[in-house]
Structure 1
Amino acid sequence: MFYKAKYIILEDEVLKDYFMEVEDGVIKSFSKNEPDEYEDLGEIIAPGLVDTHIHGYHGEDIMNAKPGALNIISKGLLETGVTSFLPTTLTDSTERLNEACRVVGEEYKDAEGAKIRGVFLEGPFFTEKYKGAQNDKYMSDPDIEKLKKWKDLSDGLVNKIAIAPEREGVTDFIKKANAMGVYVALGHSDASYDVAIDAVDAGANIFVHTYNGMSGLHHRNPGMVGAAMNSEAISELICDGHHVNPVSANILMNVKGRDHIALITDCMAAGGMAEGDYKLGEYDVIVKDGTARLKEDGNLAGSILKLKDAVKNVVDWDIADVFEAIQMASLIPAKSVGIDDVCGKLKIGYDADFIVLNEDLELKATYIDGNKAWE
């Protein structure tokens, strides 16, 4: 099957008026030569988006460990342009984390929508001051044996964990986690600049939802935000217009380069649902006016952002062009956890997981393995 678009976005260039050949669900070629039969998809063919930080969707939450919920999330994400994702946990009891990892490990191969490319453990090794919607009663120093258990229970899927760098034993934990193929992110932390940089030097390579849930940038105390800005680590950003001011997002992009920014959603169960009352872990959440907030204190509790809207937002805010926006929501997050060998780009030999956008960057269709899965 051949598909045509005015623009096809690759990892390092944009093809104009090209044809993309798909055979047996895999990209076979890109060519200017017009085949006998093809489908003209319109304005833009782009790689399927990759969300490496997402807790739930369509009323389902990874932490609920409910049979069948992972598939509901997987199928629902197709309407957001996401074709690969990392189901994401919260700070919780060891037993509940065990169960969440086990259920993902048992069910990920049966997902009918977006593909599960790992598991992100957001916690529980955080600190209290910037806990956000994380439950501090379950926070502790990092424990490599627990990480091994979670990786085993998930059928080896756990490939990312977030910790606060000021906890005890962080350097040793980061090195051992990396040796297990687990990427270490830093967040929900009051760490100083120096402590955060030491963690990066030890092997941590991601800052979790940069600006949110971390010590800020002060001219005498650069903090976690300063460390994010002044390191080679990839910075996650929630570009929903509520978590981070577009000016602040632009500053981070300019300082780090857009090739070091991963757009993520941090979406919770209310994503794709109506306004109203929801749960995030043990917390009651109210969803209203485009935000999800804890009922008890009004703090932001994840988001209800769709990744396709983050792409459109950064272009509409005039802080990224279309090419950069797509890479920040596909290739860069995939690179951050080492899955860019299977997703995050349109390339010969890769699965034909792609999206179709119109000139206003509205999502028209999502394809999995070359087949239209949503429109």
Structure 2
Amino acid sequence: MDYNIKRFYWLDILRGVAALSVVFWHWQHFFFNGTFNDMMGKIIDKSHYPLYHIFRPFYGQGWRAVELFFTLSGFIFFWLYSSKISNKEVGFEKYLTLRISRLYPLHVLTLFVVIIAQYCLYHTKGYNFVYNDFSAGAFLANITLTFDWFSSAITFNGPSWSLSVEMFLYLVFFLFCIIKFNRWWYALPMIFIGYLLRGTFLDSMGTGIMSFFAGGCIFYLFNWQMNTWSKKWRIYFAIFSMPLIIIGSIIFRYIAKIELPAYFFELAIFPSIILTISLLEASLGYGIGKHLAFIGDISYSTYLWHFPLQIIFVLAVNFIGKTRAVFYSPVTLLLFFVVLITISILSYHYFEKPMQNYLRQKWNNRRLSFRN
């Protein structure tokens, strides 16, 4: 790795856009007639959602952004950690501390906010919002970030299921690197293993493994291009490869009427987007990306706060005597996003980062005292 890149600002922006896409997808929560399990398999008419003509792709396909999260994680982790873990510059304890300090504090905070908000809703209206499994077992699985390892049931702060998959992927990745399998020819079979798990009781894990290691393979392609191709050819490739894939998929889907496979986004579209963006940023510089990267900084807060905020909005609507029809209004949509982004910014600067720094400093102090 002969090039020097400290941060991919535009990939951070992409992660932020992905988080907002999930929020649009979950706008349907406001119109659920019952719980998540009651609505499984039912067709929901979204044509009356606020500004539907503009945000239709996000209302309809926003769930795919979670697959994009996994693919981005794969690219970034192979870039940041694969060599360091393989060379034993980063040990398991440090690695786990870095990851837990990133995920855990906000996960626990939003988990308890959901519990309080659901309690208020149930004791004022007699129902829970979207999810209704608040058993001790579900709570324990949430606290330990293992709730999607053994069950596909979604509980408490529902969107946080992906954190459980992320934690599993972190462990698999560390093992993958420590036994020096961090090469593209080992990453490719992992994609196939993930594919085989799709459709089984480990479907979420399969999706995570397939997407994560697809991101890893894309990093190896990026790394090879950075070290062997001239700047001019990297730019040409980045500019023309992504449009060709999009045009090709349109021809297949809408002209030839050939249904694209379910994993097309994980293995073609998302990796291509990541490769295109990373090549352009590495070759041309980040431009205004540095000034917009806050969208990525707050993406984790955006992702974890949006469901608790939905419950709070429902409580507020009930309190003022309005019906759920208010959520068809563009004004409500705008208000929700303004509040969500404000909370996310405050959460990032005054909770996420301080807690990360505190936990990492505690680990450093413990390590130093152990050495002494």
Rg larger in structure: 2
Same fold (TM over 0.5): no
Structure number with higher strand proportion:
1
TM-score tier, shorter chain, comes to: under 0.3
TM-score (norm 2): 0.27
TM-score, normalised by the number of residues in structure 1? 0.27
